[in-house]
């Protein structure tokens, strides 16, 4: 078990190092950092001095080591366009994105699982057909289009919900939350639905196919033979066994949630990291882009690592394989 | 036994099928003609593709011709609305452009970007996959680890990064003519991994077969073995991936254009049109955004259905 953990952690570190190299290359070689930092009236001598001061004349390897060292201390430089430390910019917007991702994932689970169970138990009923058709449309509809349609329906036509921003937020320590105020709760509904719709369809289809598979197994037949109620068989035995893969997929999907958050945040002007990243791309603000890349990579790698390790805990076969290898 | 068993495959019943009959008997065509959903999807795709390809001849107006534009015609609702104008079936946008014409031209651009980027991704993926599978060793490790790292990130993020990088490299004076190719490059390079993995897998199987050995024995050089003998045998699954990825590429293009890093308003794709229309949604002028949106959704849905059908029809396990 220990060798398995060590090997997986080393692999994760290697991936992070590669991503750091990409981020560093972006930072160092795409455009001249000095030109981005100073104004037009800075003399060549001053530029050279700044270059020396920032260590841009050192060997590239030394610069890379320094970049990684600074990154480990959460120092990612200064944004070209906002003239503020990137860490502060991202830290400000981090809670907004995490709250949005969390609420949308919760929504997808709470609605997607029952829908999946229903379509598996009542195959061929008209409601199942409706669910499946809707899910196909949901997969084909680009995220931004879903957002626009929801805004058009609920904000413009019906005037029920706000179409942009986060509403009032409450500050708790370094964390700002919109989940404690009425306007904040109202503001999160449309973005969360937009972001959650894709996952919802995915979860629904996954639960459905897993349920159909489990319902065919012998232990379900045996449970029926024992005279257990339909309810106990369906929910106590069948659903329980479908949830492991569902939770894995939801965990791994968290990454694409963050990516789709870029789009959702833009449509709803949600003040999160995705919107920050998009503005950075539009303005070629490399430090922000590089930091966002590193952060997303760290989240991805951490999730993958946790999922792998959890698997090893749950499934003894993986442990045995790891020992043999 | 005069009765013919109706369960027997038709191939056994017909003697000497003609060319047309043989074509109609092919699995692909058979499954296409026997699925109503797929037929509708094919019809929708064909209609949009043909309409887009012949946009200059079909469209009532040329949305790029400034002489045809009249600001007095701007913000007109669709023809059937109370204030609609019969000249503009689906209404006009803020510059007096006919929405229907803009959609036809926009679909042309969306489809071109989608197709070209899928071709680029396939070429890059096939090339790297072939090399990785055939050469093995360190080259294989490097290519496949790069694929692993890239696969950790969603395509939209990679495409945004490539786009942002090119933007930074080309400086402030980035002209609008290059936007099209920047987009093709970003989308193409963000989705090569799937092709590379598939092709590598089949190459690993093919390279140990006798025909490769025979080709080596008669002294063919590695390049022609790889591209003239192995390649034709590994290309089948690539076509399925390409069809499925076409829908994704069109969505990706529309998303990037909507986010403002794709095609400029002077050369609008469906995504750009939706982005323009989005600004007028709050004023109740829904037609500018909704019609291109419906076209986009319909196109992607139809292409996805075709991709699903192709995957099932070509999958030997499902026959």
Chain A residues within an 8 Å CB radius of B289: 148, 152
Q: Give me the DSSP letters along A97-133.
A: HHHHHHHHHHHHHHHHHHHHHHHHHTTT-HHHHHHHH
Q: Which of A35-39, B25-29, B105-109, B306-310 has the highest mean pLDDT?
A: B105-109
- Whether residue A139 contacts residue B297, with contact meaning beta carbons closer than 8 Å, is answered with no
- Whether residue B93 contacts residue B277, with contact meaning beta carbons closer than 8 Å, is answered with yes
Q: What is the pLDDT of residue B118?
A: 94
Which H or E run contains A175?
A: strand A175-177
B157 to A296: CB separation less than 8 angstroms, yes or no:
yes
Q: pLDDT, tens digit, for every residue of A188-240?
A: 888 999 888 888 888 888 888 888 888 888 888 888 888 888 888 888 778 87
B167 to A289: CB separation less than 8 angstroms, yes or no:
no
Site from B281, B292, B308 to mutate, A interface, most A CB atoms within 10 angstroms: B281
Instruction: Please give the Cα distance from B128 to B271 (Å, whole number).
Output: 31
Task: Mark which residues 147-176 of B lie under 8 Å from A by CB.
Answer: 148-149, 152-154, 156-157, 160-161, 163-165, 167-169, 171
Q: pLDDT, tens digit, for every residue of B43-85?
A: 888 888 888 888 788 777 777 776 666 666 666 677 666 666 6
pLDDT band at B117 (very low <50, low <70, confident <90, very high): very high
A85 - beta bridge partners? A78
pTM of structure: 0.80
Out of A84-98, A132-146, A163-177, pick the least confident.
A163-177
Of B152, B278, B286, the CB nearest to A15: B152
A193 CB-near residues (< 8 Å, 6+ apart): A104, A107, A150
- Whether residue A104 contacts residue A195, with contact meaning beta carbons closer than 8 Å, is answered with yes
Residue A238 distance to chain B (closest CA, Å): 26
- Whether residue A205 contacts residue A138, with contact meaning beta carbons closer than 8 Å, is answered with no
Instruction: Please give the Cα distance from A64 to A58 (Å, whole number).
Output: 10
Residue B10 distance to chain A (closest CA, Å): 30
Instruction: Please give the Cα distance from A218 to A225 (Å, whole number).
Output: 10
Phi, psi dihedrals of residue A171, rounded to the nearest 5° = -95, 120
Out of A53-62, B146-155, B213-222, pick the least confident.
A53-62
Q: What is the pLDDT of residue B319?
A: 47
Mean pLDDT, rounded, of chain B: 79
pLDDT band at B121 (very low <50, low <70, confident <90, very high): very high
Q: What is the pLDDT of residue B274?
A: 86
- Whether residue A4 contacts residue A322, with contact meaning beta carbons closer than 8 Å, is answered with yes
Q: Of B109, B254, B132, which Cα lies nearest the Cα of B203?
A: B132
Out of A58-67, A150-159, A219-228, B162-171, pick the least confident.
B162-171
Phi, psi dihedrals of residue A78, rounded to the nearest 5° = -120, 135
Q: What is the pLDDT of residue B113?
A: 92
Interval B185-206 mean pLDDT: 88
- Whether residue A283 contacts residue B172, with contact meaning beta carbons closer than 8 Å, is answered with no
Q: pLDDT, tens digit, for every residue of A268-278?
A: 888 888 889 88
Report how many helices (DSSP H) and strands (DSSP E) chain B contains, helices first: 16, 0
Of A255, A277, A286, the CB nearest to B154: A255
């Amino acid at each position: 078990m220990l060798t398995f953990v060590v090997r997986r952690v080393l692999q994760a570190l290697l991936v992070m190092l590669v991503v750091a190299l990409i981020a560093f290359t972006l930072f160092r070689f795409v455009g001249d950092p000095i030109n981005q930092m100073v104004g037009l009236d800075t003399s060549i001598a001053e530029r050279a001095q700044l270059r020396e001061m920032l260590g841009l004349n050192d060997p590239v390897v030394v610069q890379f080591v320094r970049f990684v060292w600074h990154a480990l201390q959460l120092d990612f430089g200064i944004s070209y366009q906002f003239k503020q430390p990137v860490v502060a910019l991202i830290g400000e917007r981090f809670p907004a994105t995490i709250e949005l991702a969390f609420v949308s994932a919760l929504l997808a689970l709470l609605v997607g699982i029952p829908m999946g169970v229903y379509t598996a138990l009542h195959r061929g009923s008209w409601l199942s057909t409706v669910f499946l058709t809707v899910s196909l449309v949901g997969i084909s509809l680009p995220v931004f289009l879903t957002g626009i349609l929801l805004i058009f329906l609920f904000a413009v036509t019906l005037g029920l919900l706000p179409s942009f921003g986060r509403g009032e937020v409450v500050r708790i320590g370094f964390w700002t939350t919109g989940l404690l105020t009425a306007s904040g709760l109202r503001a999160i509904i449309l973005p969360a639905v937009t972001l959650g719709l894709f996952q919802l369809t995915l979860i629904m289809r996954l639960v459905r196919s897993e349920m159909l598979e489990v319902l065919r197994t012998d232990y379900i037949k045996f449970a029926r033979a024992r005279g257990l109620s339909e309810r106990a068989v369906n929910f106590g035995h069948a659903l329980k066994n479908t949830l492991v893969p569902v939770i894995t997929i939801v965990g791994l999907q968290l990454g694409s949630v963050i990516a789709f958050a870029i789009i959702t945040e833009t449509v709803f002007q949600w003040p999160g990291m995705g919107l920050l990243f998009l503005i950075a791309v539009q303005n070629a603000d490399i430090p922000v882009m590089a930091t966002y890349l590193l952060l997303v990579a760290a989240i991805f790698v951490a999730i993958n690592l946790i999922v792998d390790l959890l698997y090893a805990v749950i499934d003894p076969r993986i442990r045995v394989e790891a020992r043999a290898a | 036994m005069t009765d013919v068993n109706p369960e027997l495959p038709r191939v056994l019943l017909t003697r000497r099928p003609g060319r047309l009959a043989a074509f109609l008997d092919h699995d692909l065509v058979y499954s296409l003609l026997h699925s109503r959903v797929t037929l509708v999807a094919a019809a929708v795709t064909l209609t949009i593709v043909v309409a887009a390809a012949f946009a200059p001849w079909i469209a009532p107006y040329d949305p790029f011709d400034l002489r045809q534009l009249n600001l007095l015609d701007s913000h007109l609702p669709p023809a059937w609305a109370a204030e609609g104008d019969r000249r503009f079936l689906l209404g006009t946008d803020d510059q007096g452009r006919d929405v229907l014409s803009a959609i036809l031209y926009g679909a042309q651009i969306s489809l071109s970007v989608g197709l070209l980027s899928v071709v680029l991704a396939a070429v890059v993926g096939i090339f790297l996959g072939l090399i990785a599978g055939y050469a093995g060793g360190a080259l294989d490790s490097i290519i496949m680890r790069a694929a692993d790292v890239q696969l950790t990130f969603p395509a939209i993020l990679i495409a945004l990064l490539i786009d942002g990088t090119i933007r930074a490299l080309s400086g402030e004076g980035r002209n609008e003519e290059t936007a099209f190719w920047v987009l093709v490059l970003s989308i193409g390079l963000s989705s090569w991994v799937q092709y590379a993995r598939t092709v590598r897998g089949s190459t690993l199987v093919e390279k140990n077969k006798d025909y490769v050995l025979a080709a080596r024995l008669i002294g063919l050089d590695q390049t022609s073995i790889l591209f003239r003998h192995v390649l034709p045998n590994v290309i089948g699954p690539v076509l399925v991936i390409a069809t499925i990825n076409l829908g994704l590429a069109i969505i990706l293009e529309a998303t990037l254009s909507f986010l403002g890093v794709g095609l400029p308003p002077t050369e609008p794709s469906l995504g750009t049109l939706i982005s323009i229309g989005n600004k007028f949604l709050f004023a109740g002028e829904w037609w500018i955004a909704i019609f291109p949106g419906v076209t986009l959704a319909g196109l992607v849905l139809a292409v996805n259905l075709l991709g699903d059908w192709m995957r099932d029809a070509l999958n030997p396990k499902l026959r």
